[in-house]
Amino acid sequence: MIKSDEHLFFMSIIDYDINETQVKALQNVMSAFTYRLKESTDEHYEQLHEDSKNDPDSVLFRFGIDPKELYLDQASNFDELSKYVKNPP
């Protein structure tokens, strides 16, 4: 049993009946947003995101999202997140 107060992300996934592909896409978006907010990272973290940005098989393409769009040189914000979550392209 998942403790709902400790694992809000997973409880939301269950409540909204989000499939595995959608979860992976959401995780990729959130990871890219986190990356954009960090000022300093180690080289492995940098390489992971360079690989993600240039992955021709990215799950994001299934939702009409170009991974390179996610790696803008500016802080992410709620409006941008809403574009991907509420109104996917």
Residue 64 lies in a domain: yes
Task: For residue 76, give its domain range.
Answer: 19-85
Pairwise CA distance, residues 75 & 65, whole Å: 18
Residue 36 lies in a domain: yes
Q: How do residues 6-23 score in pLDDT, each as one tens digit?
A: 778 878 888 877 888 998
How many helices (H) and strands (E) the chain has is answered by: 4, 0
Residue 49 lies in a domain: yes
- Count the domains in the chain: 1
Q: What tokens appear for 77 in the block?
A: 């914000």
Band of the pLDDT at 4, cuts 50, 70, 90? low
Pairwise CA distance, residues 58 & 37, whole Å: 22
Q: How do residues 22-64 score in pLDDT, each as one tens digit?
A: 989 988 898 888 888 886 667 887 888 888 888 888 899 998 8
Burial string for 3-41 (b: 16+ CB within 10 Å, else e) reads eeeeeeeeeebeeeeeeeebeebbebbbebbebbeeeee
